[in-house]
Chain A
Amino acid sequence: AQSVAQPEDQVNVAEGNPLTVKCTYSVSGNPYLFWYVQYPNRGLQFLLKYITGDNLVKGSYGFEAEFNKSQTSFHLKKPSALVSDSALYFCAVLNGRGNTPLVFGKGTRLSVIA
């Protein structure tokens, strides 16, 4: 069975500083990995995904994520945080066959302080 761990409930970062939101996964075979963001009282918005190829994936709003197979991690990063990035971030995984439902991590709340 696949699983996702987001070890931090909350991440605080000052505006303009780089941010990292951590995610580790467990899946049989090759993983398909996703990041979603949820603003208050809104649905989830797709940010980026890793399927294969380059370990650094670029996504929406200046976010990127680095896939590390040996550490089974897929951390979300942004070089310079904005106050408007404050939201709830979910990492999710599909197994390599893609035939089981998407599994979400518990979420990490990001607060960017001006």
Chain B
Amino acid sequence: DTEVTQTPKHLVMGMTNKKSLKCEQHMGHRAMYWYKQKAKKPPELMFVYSYEKLSINESVPSRFSPECPNSSLLNLHLHALQPEDSALYLCASSLRPLEARGHYEQYFGPGTRLTVT
């Protein structure tokens, strides 16, 4: 199984809503990542989890709250988002985290297309 799954595929939410994005992998990977991608742009790193602990937060606003309940699951909780937060949110995983000082490629999920109205 070399797949990263993400749910939902699409999400429309108002600025006062609370919603969550879910990401799952069963490859035994110990690093998981959240990226935000705007149209025709490269992915922008948001958060990195290494061995289920938050290791990198790229100065992301607090309206985005990540959670890693176990080594296979990664959530992104959303609250009071702004229209400019509309984007494709990508989850990725790699066998080992950055601290392992390796060269491990990241495997990406299909993304959640988020629209904030």
Contacts and interface: CB of A to CB of B under 8 A. Distances in A.
Interface stretch (B41-49, B59-67, B77-85): B41-49
Using C-beta atoms within 8 Å of the partner chain, give the interface range for chain A. Answer: 20 to 34
A88 interface: yes
A104 to B, nearest CB: 4
Contacts of B43: 44, 90, 104
Interface stretch (A14-22, A62-70, A76-84, A91-99): A91-99
A52 to B, nearest CB: 9
B113 interface: yes
Contacts of B108: 36, 43-46
Contacts of B101: 97-99
Contacts of A106: 41-42
Interface of A: 32, 34, 36, 41-46, 49, 51, 88, 90, 94, 97-102, 104-107, 109
Interface of B: 4, 6, 40-43, 45, 48, 56, 58, 90, 92, 98-111, 113
